[in-house]
Amino acid sequence: MGAQSRLLPYHIPMRFFFAAALFQVLAWALLAAASGEATSFIGGSGLPLAALHAMTLGVLAMTVIGASLQLLSVATGVALDSLFPCRLASWLFIPGTAILVAGMAAGDHLGMALGGLLAIAGLAAWSIVLIEILRRAPGLRVTVRHCWWALAALALLAAIGAVLIIDLEHGVLGGELPGHGQLAALHAILGGFGFIGLLAMGFSYILVPMFALSTAPDEKAANTALGLVLGAIALGIAGALTDQSGSTATLLAAAAALLGLIGAALYIRLMLGALRSGMKKRLGLSFVLVRAAWALLPLAVLLGGLAGAGIDGWNMPTLFGFVLIFGWLLTFVGGILQRVLPFLTSMHAHNLGQRPPRLSEMGRQKITLPLHAACHASGLVLVAAGIAFDQSALVSAGGAVGTIGALSFLWFAVEIVRLNRRTHADAQINDAN
């Protein structure tokens, strides 16, 4: 249906994907270096905060920006009028995230403020593009609804993030305003379950049926899952802003967890149904990671409910944040990127009149991806155990193993970039001849 004509130049989404691969290495390495502080981290500047934002902004947000620019344009049939906002988003967001992470690691307020300002400006440029696509999209109503709500969460998320950076230096929160810890919890809910979480769910309704060659999941059920998740987010926000010493916060956290678990279960059922009904059954290692991510999603919701209810054992707030970000979201993004990068490379090769290698032969997948998956899983287990049992040595070991896995994924991404460059070079030679 003309999808080839709506492909962006490969370097636009690829710059976001490659940056995500680089930041994944940085995030795991910072986590390993911060092992002494990471086991019970709940706020404040330093290496744990830098590791967290290298992952949330540098990997997760970077990936959804690159994926949305290409995926939604192709899937909705809406061609972009100008590529300048896409380029502008990369010029602002990628260096802004790097500066922000460096400022957090060094405890440099000026660096955090400058990096945060650039990152927010980059997200704003991307949001303009996304809003234009969503406004003109004739179909894909379930995914479009998820995207609208994700953008609403992003607006609140960015504003709260800016206030938190200001408070670290000037202490403006407190008194009649919510405290720093309350806003930090709100920031986590809006980021993990709101912005990135809703986009991950929304894009699933396109990507999973596409890769499995199945029909789209039932729209009514998908909307019900969305409604349940939004209700859970709203209750979680209310709980975060409630006095944690009272019973109301516990009740709100329990209600949020219950709604979230039901919504997550319905979403996962729809995804598994799409896989069962699909014509393509062998989806490889990438969907082993995706399935593992789906298993980690309800665990993250449950841990969030326990943390919101004030359970102090096992460093619950820190464990919740790790399982949410490094567990459910990173595992899902890693699995999807393993499919997206070769798929885009193949589409660009066909668009240029070139014959690409088989998808399974791109990126030295027989070495890079099994190593990444094994190290990622081991890193998750070790760090989670280190947080739960307050053992910094386990966190350090898990961070080191995770770094090896991230380096392997970076190798995969480098090979994909090299293949794209060779394909475009060959096409130019053929055109010249």
CA separation for the pair 116, 161 (Å, rounded): 8
| DSSP at 178 | P
The predicted pLDDT at position 323 comes to 97
Three-state secondary structure call for residue 77: coil
**Residue keyed to tokens 């409630």:** 242
**Residue keyed to tokens 């706020």:** 43
Q: What is the pTM of this model?
A: 0.95
| DSSP letters for 254-298 | HHHHHHHHHHHHHHHHHHHHHHHH-S----HHHHHHHHHHHHHHH
Q: Return the closest-CA partner of residue 65 out of 116, 126, 155, 18.
A: 126
CA separation for the pair 97, 197 (Å, rounded): 20
- Tell me the pLDDT tens digit for each residue of 241-276: 887 766 888 999 999 999 999 999 999 999 999 999
Angle at 18 between CA 80 and CA 78, to 5 degrees: 15
Q: What is the mean pLDDT of residues 86-99?
A: 97
Exposed, middle or buried, 224 (CB in 10 Å: 0-12/13-18/19+)?
middle
**Tokens at 332, concatenated:** 């899902």
246: left (phi over 0), alpha (psi -120 to 50) or beta: beta
- Tell me the pLDDT tens digit for each residue of 166-189: 998 888 887 667 888 889 999 999
User: Picking from 82-86, 112-116, 328-332, which range would have the lowest pLDDT averaged per residue?
Assistant: 82-86
CA separation for the pair 253, 212 (Å, rounded): 36
The predicted pLDDT at position 79 comes to 82
Give the residue with greater pLDDT, 161 vs 43.
Answer: 161
The predicted pLDDT at position 415 comes to 93
- Tell me the pLDDT tens digit for each residue of 211-244: 999 999 999 999 999 999 999 999 999 999 887 7
| DSSP at 9 | P
- Tell me the pLDDT tens digit for each residue of 157-168: 999 999 999 998
Contact 402, 51 (CB under 8 A): no
Q: What is the CA radius of gyration of the chain?
A: 21
The predicted pLDDT at position 4 comes to 60
The predicted pLDDT at position 42 comes to 81
User: Picking from 131-140, 148-157, 253-262, which range would have the lowest pLDDT averaged per residue?
Assistant: 131-140
CA separation for the pair 140, 78 (Å, rounded): 12
Confidence class for position 279, pLDDT limits 50, 70, 90:
very high
CA separation for the pair 122, 96 (Å, rounded): 8
Q: What are phi and psi of 217, to 5 degrees?
A: -60, 160
Q: Return the closest-CA partner of residue 41 out of 326, 322, 327.
A: 322
| pLDDT of residue 105 exceeding 60 | yes
